Amino acid sequence: MKIGIAQINTTVGALDGNTRKILDTYQQLCDNGADLVLTPELAVAGYPPRDLLLRSRFLADCAESVRGIAAATGAVPLAVGFPERNEGPGRPAFNAVAWCCDGKIQRVFRKSLLPTYDVFDEDRYFEPSEPDRPIHFGGRTIAVSICEDLWHGLDGQRYSHRADPVEKIAEWKPDKREFFFTNGKWYFLRDGYFRSKQGFEITVDSKGKITHICYKMKWDESTSK
């Protein structure tokens, strides 16, 4: 399966502009042979929408935008992030992903683990969800997770591995400089740097061991390697 990742920069509250970016990128990735297209978390609303989520009209407008996005999809599924109104008790919304395909919203998946550390305050606005069942597509069983749900088990513990994935990748392609994701952090294979959106860089050795973490208020491209 070829997965297309829509690496778009959305704007909080700019629903029309975000929708255009999502659909334009979806079409580009489909034209390039993607079998599935993924957007960032809450791509329709922009992240983080914060107090906009307390406005019922905003949630209604997000739902309308998602329906319009779904109507424009073809045979290639689009998993698009959006805030879904909570019609039951609790907080006003769910942090959700709509699985859109063949002109319709086929399924909606909701986030379970809502971060409240550092700059995050999702628990203030979103109701946590029970785990969703996987979806079957193209002869495959696909589980859809949103951010924190992928990093931790539902008991709050990080997922464990029978083998260290960093060491296995190092053995697989020791001469490549490739970045990969495990346990909630980005790493570079071999000596190198990876700039995260949070403004810090992590240095690892050829076996994936972190040797240095440098936090920066502002990234300086002249110092990148």
Residues with catalytic annotation?
A: 41, 111, 147
Rounded distance between C-alpha atoms, residue 218 and residue 220, angstroms: 6
Rounded distance between C-alpha atoms, residue 167 and residue 225, angstroms: 23
The torsion angle over the Cα atoms of residues 184, 185, 188 and 192, rounded to 10 degrees, is: 180
Rounded distance between C-alpha atoms, residue 216 and residue 197, angstroms: 11
Residue 155: CA count within 13 A, CB half-sphere: 4
Is residue 185 within a helix (H) or strand (E), and if so which, with residue range? Answer: strand 185-188
- Are 39 and 22 a contacting pair, CB within 8 Å? yes
Q: Is the dihedral of CA 50, 15, 83, 40 positive or negative?
A: negative
Rounded distance between C-alpha atoms, residue 174 and residue 159, angstroms: 25
Residue 66 φ/ψ region, left for φ over 0, alpha for ψ in the -120 to 50 degree band, beta for the rest: alpha
Sheet with 3-5: strands ordered across? 3-5, 36-38, 78-85, 93-101, 104-110
